[in-house]
Amino acid sequence: MSEEITRQIRVYGIVQGVGFRPTVSRHAATRGIRGNVCNKGPYVEIYAQGSEEAVRGFISDIQNRPPKRAAILKVNVENVEHPEAYTQFDIIESEKTKGEIFVSPDIAICDECRAEMFDSRNRRYLHPFINCTCCGPRLTILDSLPYDRERTSMKEFPMCPDCAKEYHDPATRRYDAQPVCCNECGPEVYLIGREERGRAAITYARKTIAEGGIAAIKGIGGFHLCCDASNEAAVSRLRELKHRPMKPFAVMAKDLEAVRKECKISEEQVRILDGHQKPILLLDKKKEAAILCPSVAPGNPKIGVMLPYAPVQLLIFTYDDGIEMPEFLVMTSGNTSGAPICRDDQEAEAELSGFCDCMLSHDRKIRIRADDSVMDFYEDKPYMIRRSRGYAPLPFMVSTPYRGQVLAIGGELKNSFCIGVDNRFYPSPYVGDLEDLRTVKALRETVGRLETLLEVEPEIICCDMHPKYNSVMVAEELGLPVVKVQHHYAHILSCMAENDCAGQVIGVSFDGTGYGTDSTIWGGEILLSDLNGFERVGSVMPFLQIGGDASSKEGWRIAVSLIYGMTGDREKASEIIEKLGLCTKQEANVQFTMADRKINAVMSTSAGRLFDGVSAILGIRRKSTFEGEASMALEFAAEEYRDAMLEKKKQQILEREKYSFHKVNTDALVENKNQPDIEDERYLKQTEDRIIFNNKRRTLESDRLLLNTESLIKEILNSRLNGEDSGSLAYFFHQELARQITTTCVKIREQSGCNKAALSGGVFQNRLLLELTDHMLKQQGFEVLKHQLVPPNDGGIALGQAVYAMAYLERNKRGTLPCV
């Protein structure tokens, strides 16, 4: 008989609420291992006793055959010198221990539970809250760790004898499944303000939707507003009620077969769409798509699609009441504009009752809101747009051995915050736009709850530099040392952290707006960055942004400002503006006066506003009804042109080129003399002092390189006035902007020796610009860092803030931390 050994095994990661202990017990039984397994909170601790071969095989089973929903991040194995003699393998009660904590996100319904729910012989037939160790709510019902029923909102629902038997039996799928329940002992669905409960409530909601009405439905992380996505009248009514004329609605499809009817979808996208996270995926519409009505996503070639992830959502599609339901439902966040998603009856009655015909709720409390995650794809890999349900608060881990605890408050728009503990960074679920005080309240509450779950007491708080942001107010009222970090630098740091990069990068940070270190508006920045700080080595050419907040919604104002800045003449500018139909003569004169007198006018390098201005010049969108609308329309026009050219094979896209780069002055565009000059002297005069050709001008701009965006827009303007197609010019804008970014990075590499670029900021949600810039940089030999599971928009900057705060702590750990 071989000599026996005893090992202590600690498994870190998502190992709570996923059936880890019963799985370990089954592996032990297979290998003849004695000992025990215990949930310690931060980790699962196992004592394994048996032959060396058996113990080695047991450890291999744990690492290679964990439960479906587990995510093992680290396994520590130590020898036990003087072990007790175990006679069997036991699952022992959870114990509380300090250490690394990993909280499981909510998990979509699994195939086994789905099959049981639709099996008329099963005791959980049509049960709206069916779950097991592999699926169901986690973060949204959790009060504290370890993850046991008494520390969740399910503690209010005592288990019936049948559920208790499954819960305590290691041989069942529901052993230790904290939300386990059935139709006899679990939560109940009901209609707010009506008598219907249970089956009657579900049938009433289904009937309402089938007849063209709107229902509010409470799910795992909050309420959705729901209607028939194939019913134009219903969707138009929802738009009117929500005052949301154009912003796309997400839809929920009955199943994958329905998705394939309407959308193009790759196998990798299928894997994500139908996986256990089930985010909203932005999928390209098929040309022959005919089910979804036009008002679902007006003028948009993509559809945001998800599959049912909560049992009640499946029951809305399929029930035994004889009502025929559509294959697609609009499923948009249940909130008023700017507010966080509603999570309880009181909020739903106050905010949603005017939007819908009925409200289907339930009595399982939601502890933490979790809006749906939204994901695009780039090069057939996930490209996160909003990180929330199914993903938060899974941490990002970096290699730098930091020690400390920090809180990063995040951005003003698309807010999510981030908690840093040593080298682990936990981004929160999506919170919302902090311009609304209800969202500010939700931020404060969610910060407190997540700090409790992760057992964190931050030493320092990091926030934006903007003096008037509510996020800054929240940070400063918490009574801890505050360090402030520039917005676009935080974008680059978030990209670096996601890619576990601690070295220097050339950061290309393009978005709508951010407060600069010179108190102007930044937004098209190239920053030579590392963890200690940054140098602003490049930007788009500054322009006068007139109109304050209105200019971010009305791209025609940016267009007028650009035209007036290029001509320097009211009469010529008015002639161009009238020909393009940008605004009335009176509106133009007001803009001219504001520019001359610098009234509500600031210098800006905002790339997002440039996109808006070009969109207006090309007659694509004069103004936006939601953030990014004009820029998105410009992208879609460019993509449509590119796709048409590729399909028709008329010419290569590169033949659209008008400019080439000067071999010496690589930060400037110069005319390509091999191309015909279509400059129209009637509208524009040459103003060489406004175009960067030499080092002298760069010196005047604090020694940073300027992208020659003014010359680019001038060329687009002239071509448009000469009747050139707006789609081809939209593509030209993307192509030349990517080329200017690349040439500027090459110049910076020559000066700094840095060969690594990082692309971040909301403008890089634009897949076309991302693709062009990424490919051009790679062609020039750059290593290019991009986002994948952290949003490039403001929803991702909290990670960058947290990393900066942790590096700041590291630099100052022996000194007093000042308020910066």
Distance CA 764, CA 647 (A): 25
Catalytic residue among 7, 10, 31, 39: 39
d(CA 521, CA 514): 6
Q: Has 64 been annotated as catalytic?
A: no
Place of tokens 């505050």: 482
Query: Are the CB atoms for 756 and 506 separated by under 8 Å?
Result: yes
In Å, what is the CA distance from 34 to each residue of 26, 171, 266, 584? 11, 17, 46, 83
> Which positions ≥6 away from 183 have C-beta within 8 Å?
123, 124, 125, 126, 127
Q: What are phi and psi of 71, to 5 degrees?
A: -135, 100
- Separation CA 664–CA 714 (nearest Å): 22
Closest CA to 317 of 309, 326, 330, 305: 326
Residue matched to tokens 């680290």? 74
Residue 816 has, within 13 A of its CA and on its CB side, a CA count of 2
Nearest C-alpha neighbor of 22 from the set 130, 164, 176? 176
Edge-to-edge order in the sheet of strand 189-191: 189-191, 358-362, 215-218, 223-228, 328-333, 251-253, 302-306, 280-284, 374-378, 381-386
Please give the DSSP secondary-structure letter assigned to residue 654.
G
Cα–Cα distance between 134 and 693 in angstroms, integer? 62
Q: Exposure string (b/e) for 643-665, b if CB count within 10 Å is 16 or more?
A: eebeeeeeeeeeebebbebeeeb
Q: In angstroms, what CA-CA distances link 203 with 58, 238, 317, 318?
A: 49, 21, 11, 10
DSSP type of residue 196? -
Place of tokens 């690349």: 742
H, E, C per residue of 588-639: HHHHHHHHHHCCCEEEECCHHHHHHHHHHHCCCCCCCCCCCHHHHHHHHHHH
Mark 684-723 as b/e (b = at least 16 C-beta within 10 Å): beeeeeebbbeeebbeeeeebbbbbbbbbbbbbbbbbbee
Q: Is 337 exposed, middle or buried (0-12, 13-18, 19+ CB in 10 A)?
A: exposed
Integer Cα distance of 10 and 22 in angstroms: 16
Burial category of 741 from C-beta neighbours within 10 Å (exposed 0-12, middle 13-18, buried 19 and up): buried
Contact indicator for 785, 756 with CB cutoff of 8 Å: yes
Tell me which DSSP letter residue 525 carries: E
Contact 790, 387 (CB under 8 A): yes
Identify the CA nearest to 456 among candidates 430, 500, 424.
424
Could you report how far apart the first and last alpha carbons of the chain are, in Å?
A: 67
- 589 given a catalytic annotation: no
Give the phi and the psi of residue 311 in degrees, each rounded to 5: -55, -40
> Using CA atoms, how far apart are residues 554 and 710, in angstroms rounded to an integer?
20
The two tokens of residue 370 are: 């979790």
Which is the catalytic residue, given 7, 21, 369, 697? 21
Q: Mapping DSSP to helix (H, G, I), strand (E, B) and coil, where does residue 414 land?
A: coil
Q: What is the DSSP string of 56-105?
A: HHHHHHHHHS--TT-EEEEEEEEE-SS----SSEEE-------S---PPP
Largest CA distance in the chain: 100
Task: Give the closest residue to 532 by CA, choosing from 771, 803, 251, 320.
Answer: 803
Which residue numbers are catalytic?
21, 39
